[in-house]
Structures are given as structure tokens and as C-alpha cells.
Structure 1
Amino acid sequence: MEITGKKHVGVFTFPFASHPPLLLNVVRRLAPAAPAVVFSFFSTAKFNRALFTERGSDYILPYDISDGLPEGYGYDGKVGVEAQIGLFLGVAEEEFKRGVQAAEKEVGVRVSCLVVDAFLWFSGDLACEMKIPWVAFWTAGLSSLSAHFYTDLIRQKYDELKDSVGPDDEIPNLIPGLPVVRLGDIPKEVIFGDLESPFATMLHKMGGAITRATAVFVNSFQELDPDLTKNLSPIFNNFLHIGPSNLVSNQKPPSKPDESCCISWLDAQNPRSVAYISFGTVCTPPPHELVALAEALEETKTPFLWSLNNDSQKHLPSGFLDRTTATGWGKIVPWAPQVQVLNHCSIGVFVTHGGWNSVLESIGSGVPMICRPFFGDHPINTWMIERVWRVGVRIEGGSFTKHGTCGALQLVLSSSPDDGLKQRNEALKDLVHSSVGPNGSCVHNFKTLVDVVTGATL
């Protein structure tokens, strides 16, 4: 294949969790806005098979790179996620170089820009060697980006305080742009855990390299975190909030059909009465917490729609399914169309792990959250939800107990439309929808991103 008169952009993914589909959504927005560009999309065979039902369009071409797993290993639990990341990082730099060479040969056009997941810090060196722009995508929120960017400063401050503070202490000015943060909510890769692990090392090096990027774009909107944005904007080149992926994608991957009839069940419920419960595709509370959550739902008689895999359902209290789902005031499904569910008028609260995509989907729907964080950026997202934006609450003690969950459900669901919680959710919902509207900040930022990627501003 040789495509004359075109520019060629290489897209590097971090092939874990939701990272590849998020970056592909951006490319699917860029492609029609930059018709003179061919995008070569590099990911593992596993993700490319899932994301591309066929070879790809003429201008978005998938290329497979190795995941680094030894022969005979699969994604079947034999290798933990952190070990998988370490194996991938061991081969990633050479794999992306090989992929670029193969794509340039096939397309017949030299790569003129790299658009990459920000985790892949080494791609900046490759862009420098190639003398082309390096454009980095941060898939999560600004609080976690700031924590990783300021890792050295945070560690220095922590070393001065560590004899007098613990995880539950709230520390002022630990992260520039954030007046106060709970120490235990800082991502553990910053000051806790194994600081020499491949994942922690990757994030630390990313924080040190990202200021060299030609542009840094984020999966958010600038009105959400004005102080953090104000702090980082002078530091990063072309710091661009291009909008929550769920609200701005031109073309979403095909969604599963609503085989469990979630929406029709919600249609029969009262407005703002239902607790929607989901912890994403990776997280599941331990069995005793599932029991506590179920008991709280039953105790408070809260109507609920719960996305829970079949293996976990066996841990629910004896008779719970018969007492709740058989009577119609509860529904448990293995999968739910989350964006549609959150936008349904019957949803009154989202019980969530606090993953960034779920947070943005909840904000875009104006639904308050009850957060049970697990790892990664979940704790710091939860801090922002409860203490900065004040659009939800953290579960008491950080894990589900019957008493704490009853209290959280009653607090959120019994609040009136005129109280601060619901007003703040509606205000934030209005802000995000305005930001992605025709004259919104995200629209203007995306036009700048197109100019950077196509070379119009260089």
C-alpha cells in the first residue's frame, strides 16, 4: 500500500485495561478532522482483535506488537497484571520501533508525529531521534497526573513528615494546585509500595519526561479542576483538555445489546430511587463486603441494579436473590450498558470503585457517587469526589460494612432536590456538557490538537 499526498502519524498504546480503546476513540475523532493523515495504530494482537472487526479503515491501520509474554502464557491468571506490565515494558521500545518501520514500509510515508499513551515515556526519545513531534495522552484525571509529575517533590515532603503522619492524615500543599489531600489517597506508586517495580518506575520516568512533549492532552474538561489546570498549564506545552471520552467520541466501539433488559426494568422504577452498583471489569469486593453491601440494600429497601459477575453472585447472602430480584425491587446482571443506565431518570446514586471513566460518566449524568476505592487512581479520585467537587461520598472506613453502607445510601438517596449535593451534581453536569458544546473549551482544545498532530502549528 502506498498513499501519496498523506501525512503519517504513529499511535502507541499502553495495552492494558481501558487505555487502548480510549486512545482509539481519540484517533477516530482525529481521522475525519485530519483527512490528510494516515494513522498507524500499534497495540497487542489481543486488543487489536477486540477493537478492529476488520483490517481497519483506509486511514486507521492496526499493527500488532508483542506483549512480551513468554511462549505458552496467556491472559489467564498465570501471570499477574504487574508482571505482565513488566514483561511488556521489557520489549516495548524495540517493538514500537519495529512496528514503525513496518508501517512506514507498508504505507510508503514516513511517520511525521507520534501520538502516544503518556505512560510510554520512552517514546519521547524515539520522537527526538526521528525529529518529529511527540504528543502524549493522559487517560485519567489531573489529580493523579499531578501526583506522578510531582513525585520527587512529594517524596521529599513526605520524608520530612513521615515520623509524624499516617495514611489518614490530611496534608496541606502536598500536591501543587491541591490545597490539601489525604496521605493515603496518593497513588501508592508515588510514596508507598515497591518504588522500584516496573510500573512505579514507568510512572516516575513519565513524570520526568512529559514536559518535553509537544502537547499533552487529557481525558477531562478544564472547568473540573481549575486550580490544577492553572498550575500545570505553564509547565506543559499545549496542555489540552479534549473532553470526557464518553461525551465526545465520534465513533464508539459497538456496545453489547442490553440482553438483561436493564433499561426496561429501570423504566418501571421511581425517579432517582435506584442504586446502580458496578465496580468495572477488574475490581470485585471480597466476599464479606459483598455480603455487607447486600444486607445494606435489603435493610434500607433500596431498589438496585447491580452489575455482578456470576462467580461473585455465589457469595451473596442465602436467599438474597429470591427476596429481592424475585419481588422486582432489585436486579442483578452480569453486565449493564453503563452510560445508558446512568443517564436513566430512575438512577439516584452510583456505587462505584472510582475509576476515572466511571467518574466522568457519573459526572456527565449528574448522578452522585458512593465510592469504594481499590487501587491506582481510585483513592485520589474519591478524594476529589468527596472533598473537592463534593458530588459524592467515600464509604465509611474505605470498605463496605452493613452500617456504613446503610448510612451512605440514606445520606445520598434521602437528600432533597434543593440540597447542596444534588445542586453540585447538576452544576457539574452543566459545566461538562457546556465544555463539549459547539463553543466549549474542549472543542477549541481539540482543534489545537488537530493542528499539532497535522503540523499546522509547527
Structure 2
Amino acid sequence: MGEVQPDHQQQPPHVAVLAFPFGTHAAPLLNLVKRLAVAAPHITFSFFNTAKSNASIFGTNEENGKLDNVNAYNVDDGVPEGYVFTGKRQEDIELFLSVTPQNFKKEIEKIVLETKKNITCLMTDAFLSFAADMAEEMKISWIPLWTAGAVALSAHVYTDLIRDTVGIDPTELQEEPLNFLPGMPSALRVKDLPFEVFGGNIFSRLLHQMGQTVTRATAITMNSFEELDPSVIDDLQAKFKQCLSLGPFNLTSPPSSETDPHGCLPWLHDQKPASVAYVSFGTITTLPPNELTALAEALEESKVVFLWSLKDSQKANLPKGFLNRTSERGKVVPWAPQSQILGHTATGAFVTHCGWNSVLESITGGAPMICRPGFGDQNLNAQLVSNVWGIGIGAKDGKLSKDGVMNALELVLHKEEGGKMREKVLALKELAKQAVGPKGSSTKNFNTLLSVVSMS
């Protein structure tokens, strides 16, 4: 299948890029590909993804930012024609995985025949661990992208060690420190690990396979910067052939056309410095109705100025009359330009689910966080924010209550402790800027990646 011939050095590189078409996975991979494509116009990138995900990330304005050497191709999403979804959790993911890797192989073979360009390198989402075997069969390099942070990657690489040490149901060992994991920060406990480490769902299987396979990669890339988790990065660099932190991606590939249809930025301009609580739980996470109500009550009673990105479908769970009563100091919108809001001088706190992209945007914006994690790596991220980096505070018992939110807002926006969090997050912001600067670690790693891709 598009196996490279011995004389492939004569042919300009042709990179096959395989996306995981769910959540916020495909967009960062495309951002990295576009960055490489601009730096190396002689390399062809063929981006394989489902039609639905391609339509979402390439967007309707693609003509403005279209690159001649990046081409999108659709692969089978595994959903049979006329299929009626039953509503089962992760049903679409199960269906997609049932047709991998054959769906990717089929399209790659087709494109190689059409373009007469053999594939010289595989770049994939790290979730697609079957790519390790594909790359070996094709005798080419494999470069996976891990879209989350270094600590979460370490947890999945060491899953077998964790299970051997504390078992798969560590109920009695929740407070056990993770000091048996190389490089892991001493403040982290067993209870902070993603529950997928202990098995139980489709992501557990995906992540376990990924952790066992990913060390075979020519290079692992990730959306982070070395200075954020130095001890974990040191260990990963010893485990991998090459471990390349390339981020934060929101600094290396800033949103080109992030619009502000609801006037959030002009509204922020009228607020006092570090006075606004920005609230958003991402595009996937939905708060339980009782917590959403408690959050609204806390925002109302605390008299804090707030900007809340809340889907229209969720407004029914707001207390009756809330929008009217808070309209003079609160703004509720269905979508907001998050990275610009977090970087605005008026933003004083970010109430967040701690998805990795949101955490990085908060760091690069210089905004302390109030964390209410949901699933996956979010609990681990929240613990890093509050207990390791000291740039935020976790929701009491992991849930939002009226009193808990009011106390957290008071602490972050008005107390000395909140001021210290702001100082620490601004120091990390500076390290992030340096990392992507001309002589920074992420820039150096990007140049290394460019060499690997070019020489493949």
C-alpha cells in the first residue's frame, strides 16, 4: 500500500496525515500540518479524516487560508447507510474504530495511485496506535501527535506499572502519592489520575494501546512546552526516540479568523482590570443542571462582573429571571473568542472544565483558573493547575456549589492568594512566550520535526 521504493529519496516527501475525528483532536493536528506546510512548501501533506470532521475544521472560508500542498481526503466513518443511532455513549466512535485501519489504507492507496507519489511519512493522532504497524509495513517514519499534556501522556505510558502497583480498583489507595512514576510531581495522588488508566470504556482500551505502542514512534509530538513539566519531559525524552514539545499551539498557530459576533471584546474594554470572571466549559462538557443553577446563583449573589459562554440549549437551567437581574454586570453569549478573552486585561478569573486547550489558553492569557473538571485528562489538569503550578483553585469536592463558587471567586479576584496565583500564571505565560520565540525550546523542537519530516 503505497510502499516506498528504494529510490524514494528522489521524490519530494509525501506525508499521509491520519486524524481522529472526534472532540477537539483533528484541529490541532491540522494546525501543526499547516505550520509544517508553510515552512516546507516542497512537501505534500494528504490529510485523511471523516467528511464531517473535515467540513468542520477546514471550514467554509478555506479559500482564504488554503495551502497548495495540503489536501483533504475523506475516509469512511463506519456509519452504515440509513443507520439509526441508538443513543449509546460513544456509539459514533465505536463505529469509526470498527472500520480502522482499513478505511485509511483504502484511501491512501487510492491517492498514491492518483498522485503517483509514494507515502514517505505517517503523521497521526496518537490515539491511532495501529499506525505503528502501518509505518513498519511501509518502512517509513511514524510521528504521532499527543494533543494533551506531558503528565497525562506519562500516566498512559505507565498504565501497566500503575495497575501493577495499585491495582485496577484502587479505592483504598486514593491518597497514595504517584512517586513510583518517574518524574511525576510529588503533589499528585492516585485519585488524580484519569479513570481511563484503570479500564472500563472504549477510551481506556484506546489509551492503553496508545501507551503500549507510542514509544515505537520516530518522534512523539505534543501541544505543550518543556518548561511547564520539566521532570516529566526529562523522563519522556529518555523513553522516546524523540519527544518534541511544540506548543502552546495557540501561540504558534493563533486563530486566523476568530470572530466576536456577540461583542464580547468591546464589552470587556469597559470593565476594570482583572475584575471579570469568564465562564466556559468547552464545546463538549455539559454541567449537571443543579451545578449550573448553583453557579448562576453564586455569580448573582457575589455581584461579580461576569462573561459566560453558555449554549442556548442550557439556558433553561438558569434560575428564573437570572438574565434580567444580572444584565447590567453580566453577559451571557452562546459563543465567545476564548483566547482573546483570556488575554484581555479585564479578565481576572476563568471558571473552566480544564480541557488541555483551555488550560494552555489560560496560561498564555495570564488568567488564574477555578477548576471544575469533567472527564479524561481534565481532573489531572485541574490538580496541576491548583496543586503543582499554583495558578488556580479546584471546586470543592470536584463539584460546583453556590458557596464554593462564591468563596473561589472571592479568593481569586480579591484575596492575596489570588494575587499570587496571578503572579505565577504570568511567569508561566512569559516562559510559554519564550518557548515559541526565535531561540525557544518549542521552536528548536519544531525545526527538529521539520528535519524528520523532510528527510523521511
Q: TM-score normalised by the shorter chain: which range applies?
A: over 0.9
CA deviation vs aligned residue, 1:346-374 (integer Å, no higher than 9, x gap): 00000000000000000001100001001
Report the CA distance between 1:7 and its aligned residue.
1.7
Whether the 8 Å CA contact 1:416–1:422 is kept in 2: the answer is no
Whether the 8 Å CA contact 2:178–2:190 is kept in 1: the answer is no
Matched to 1:432, the amino acid is A
Equivalent residue number for residue 189 of structure 1: 196
Equivalent residue number for residue 203 of structure 1: 207
Question: What TM-score do the two structures reach when normalised by structure 1?
Answer: 0.93
Report the CA distance between 1:66 and its aligned residue.
1.1
Report the CA distance between 1:99 and its aligned residue.
1.5
Q: Does 1:48 align with 2:81?
A: no
Q: Does 1:286 align with 2:292?
A: no
Q: Does 1:69 align with 2:79?
A: yes
The alignment yields a C-alpha RMSD, in angstroms, of 1.9
CA deviation vs aligned residue, 1:186-241 (integer Å, no higher than 9, x gap): 1111115x1xx432212111111111100011100000000100111111111111
Equivalent residue number for residue 177 of structure 1: 183
CA distance in 2, matches of 1:338, 1:158: 39
Equivalent residue number for residue 345 of structure 1: 345
Equivalent residue number for residue 12 of structure 1: 18
Q: Within 5 Å, give how 1:292-371 maps onto structure 2.
A: 292-325=294-327, 328-371=328-371
Whether the 8 Å CA contact 1:41–1:63 is kept in 2: the answer is yes
Equivalent residue number for residue 267 of structure 2: 265
Report the CA distance between 1:164 and its aligned residue.
3.3
Equivalent residue number for residue 397 of structure 1: 397
Q: Does 1:23 align with 2:52?
A: no
The 1:247/1:43 distance shift into structure 2, 3 A limit, reads: same
Which of 128, 131, 140 aligns to 1:123? It is 131
Aligned with 1:271: secondary structure?
coil
Matched to 1:86, the amino acid is E
Aligned with 1:164: secondary structure?
helix
Matched to 2:36, the amino acid is L
CA distance in 2, matches of 1:160, 1:265: 49
CA distance in 1, matches of 2:171, 2:293: 37
CA deviation vs aligned residue, 1:378-411 (integer Å, no higher than 9, x gap): 0000011011111001011111101111111111
Whether the 8 Å CA contact 2:187–2:387 is kept in 1: the answer is no
Whether the 8 Å CA contact 1:182–1:383 is kept in 2: the answer is no
Q: Within 5 Å, give how 1:154-169 maps onto structure 2.
A: 154-159=162-167, 162=170, 164-166=172-174, 169=175
Matched to 1:31, the amino acid is A
CA distance in 2, matches of 1:417, 1:161: 36
Equivalent residue number for residue 243 of structure 1: 247
Identity %: 47
Report the CA distance between 1:176 and its aligned residue.
2.4
Report the CA distance between 1:300 and its aligned residue.
1.1
Whether the 8 Å CA contact 2:225–2:246 is kept in 1: the answer is yes
Q: Does 1:212 align with 2:219?
A: no
Aligned with 1:175: secondary structure?
coil
CA distance in 2, matches of 1:301, 1:24: 41
CA distance in 2, matches of 1:139, 1:377: 11
CA deviation vs aligned residue, 1:124-154 (integer Å, no higher than 9, x gap): 1000000000111100001110111000000
Which of 231, 234, 237 aligns to 1:233? It is 237
Equivalent residue number for residue 151 of structure 1: 159
Q: Does 1:385 align with 2:385?
A: yes
CA distance in 2, matches of 1:292, 1:335: 21
Whether the 8 Å CA contact 2:354–2:382 is kept in 1: the answer is yes
Aligned residue pairs, count:
442
Whether the 8 Å CA contact 2:13–2:120 is kept in 1: the answer is yes
Whether the 8 Å CA contact 1:82–1:199 is kept in 2: the answer is no
Question: What TM-score do the two structures reach when normalised by structure 2?
Answer: 0.93
Whether the 8 Å CA contact 2:46–2:72 is kept in 1: the answer is yes
Whether the 8 Å CA contact 1:5–1:36 is kept in 2: the answer is no
Matched to 2:79, the amino acid is L
CA distance in 2, matches of 1:129, 1:334: 47
CA deviation vs aligned residue, 1:411-449 (integer Å, no higher than 9, x gap): 100135994212111111110011111111110100000
Matched to 1:125, the amino acid is D
CA distance in 2, matches of 1:48, 1:159: 40
CA deviation vs aligned residue, 1:62-111 (integer Å, no higher than 9, x gap): 1101111222347xx74445222221111120011112111212221100
Report the CA distance between 1:50 and its aligned residue.
2.1
My pick for the range that moved more, 264-273 or 174-183, is 174-183
Report the CA distance between 1:288 and its aligned residue.
0.8
Report the CA distance between 1:260 and its aligned residue.
1.0
Whether the 8 Å CA contact 2:169–2:198 is kept in 1: the answer is no
Matched to 2:183, the amino acid is G
CA distance in 1, matches of 2:89, 2:124: 21
CA distance in 2, matches of 1:113, 1:410: 52
Report the CA distance between 1:316 and its aligned residue.
0.8
